[in-house]
């Protein structure tokens, strides 16, 4: 890893430690600054409230010019998150990425995505189809049930496999 990337990540880590957020924890691996983990706790009135979602973040050597790879480790029912792999479809992880983004602001964007799904680019077609056909009640029931099943504090370490 270049010295530029290392300095940037050290600054981001210090910022996260200085300004802890109630909605998420974020930190790097002790032995690899390119491997980070986030734990998201969506607040009320989110459909995902009460859930604890683990997210793995792999930072490339070309960061911040290139976005990190992000995957949910905890199973989650969401149109823009693949049910099995945990892959995330989010514009800032693709075409809208800018070096102005940080891993902290990325976590905030993930929390916003949870309650503002983009149904036109689903990775989870079942969840996307419920919203596209206007079945908000069915979507809410499915999200609530699967959050309780997979993302409660006791089950939050569930692997997507």
Across the beta sheet with 24-28, the strand order is: 24-28, 35-40, 53-58, 69-72
Please measure the distance between the N-terminal and C-terminal CA atoms of the chain and give it in whole angstroms: 30
Q: Which whole number is the average pLDDT over 60-83? A: 97
Q: Is 89 among the residues known to form the active site?
A: yes
Summarize pLDDT for 93-144 with one digit per residue, the tens.
Answer: 999 999 999 999 999 999 999 999 999 889 999 999 999 999 999 999 999 9
pTM of structure = 0.92
**Tens of pLDDT, residues 36-52:** 999 999 999 999 999 99
CB 90 within 8 A of CB 113: yes
CA dist., res. 29 & res. 21, Å (int): 19
Does residue 161 surpass a pLDDT of 70? no
Residue tagged active-site, from 77, 89, 107, 125: 89
Mean model confidence pLDDT for the chain: 93
CATH homologous superfamily of 3-150 equals: Ubiquitin Conjugating Enzyme (3.10.110.10)
The whole-angstrom separation of Cα 138 and Cα 14 is 42
DSSP 8-state assignment for residue 60: -
pLDDT number for residue 155: 55
């Amino acid at each position: 890893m270049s010295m530029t990337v290392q300095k940037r990540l050290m600054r981001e880590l210090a910022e996260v430690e200085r300004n802890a957020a109630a909605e998420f924890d974020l930190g790097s691996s002790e032995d690899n600054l390119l491997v980070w983990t986030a734990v998201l706790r969506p607040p009320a009135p989110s459909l995902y409230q009460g859930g604890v979602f683990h997210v793995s973040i792999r930072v490339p050597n070309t960061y911040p010019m290139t976005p990190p790879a992000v995957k949910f480790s905890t199973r989650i029912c969401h149109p823009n998150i693949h049910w099995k792999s945990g892959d995330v479809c989010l514009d800032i992880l693709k075409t809208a990425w800018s070096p102005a983004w940080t891993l902290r602001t990325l976590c905030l964007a993930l929390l916003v995505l949870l309650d503002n799904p983009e149904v036109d680019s689903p990775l989870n077609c079942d969840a996307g189809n419920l919203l596209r056909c206007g079945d908000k009640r069915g979507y809410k029931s499915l999200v609530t049930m699967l959050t309780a099943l997979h993302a409660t504090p006791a089950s939050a370490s569930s692997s997507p496999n």
